[in-house]
Amino acid sequence: MSTQKDKEIFGFGDRLTEERLRLGFSQKALAAILEKTSMTQIKYESEETRPDIAYLLGLDKLGADIYYIVTGQRSENNLAKDELEILNGYRSLDDRAKRGVSGMIHGMTESDVSSRAVFKGEVGQVIQGKQEVNAPLAISMGDGRKSKKQ
């Protein structure tokens, strides 16, 4: 039997429920596949009892992230093929390239319009808003006219 302290520390019941739902199973269906009763499945998910190794191995064969259920951290083993390919590619990059990829992802996922550059003035220029530069930046000064030498 689990104690209240075990629930607070482990929390595997919620993660077990999450994985069951992610895989598209009802409690009854998953229990039947893994040769358990519906009541046993309910007790696992409410953390009244803990599943045995055979149950966890059965879940693993169905595609559940056992590492996540037990630790709360996602396992790389359950990444989709394209996600694993991207992760492996990222890991092969040097630090500069990783910063570039991170900047690209950040730029593609951010929708905060308050962080855009606003230029004002004729002599001095002021940039307002949060600016983050993740790649080389070139700033050209002047109006493009060549100065006359006297």
- CA proximity to 128, closest of 136, 137, 120: 120
Token duo for residue 81: 């093929």
Domain ranges of the chain: 4-78
Q: How far apart are CA 85 and CA 143, in angstroms?
A: 47
Assigned fold of 4-78: 434 Repressor (Amino-terminal Domain) (1.10.260)
Q: Looking at residue 101, what is its pLDDT?
A: 87
User: Which of 87 and 141 is assigned the larger pLDDT?
Assistant: 87
Q: Looking at residue 80, what is its pLDDT?
A: 72
Task: Give the pLDDT confidence of 104-118 residue by residue, as tens digits.
Answer: 888 887 655 454 555
pLDDT at position 75 over 70: yes
Mean pLDDT of all residues in the chain?
A: 79
Cβ–Cβ under 8 Å, residues 16 and 68:
no
Confidence (pTM): 0.50
Q: Looking at residue 31, what is its pLDDT?
A: 96
Contacts of range 127-134, beta carbons closer than 8 Å, 24 or more positions apart:
132/103, 132/106, 134/99, 134/100, 134/102, 134/103, 134/106
6-10, 108-112, 123-127, range with greatest mean pLDDT:
108-112
Q: Looking at residue 102, what is its pLDDT?
A: 86
3-state class (DSSP) for residue 44: helix
Q: Looking at residue 127, what is its pLDDT?
A: 60
Residue 150: band (very low, low, confident or very high) from pLDDT cuts 50, 70, 90:
low
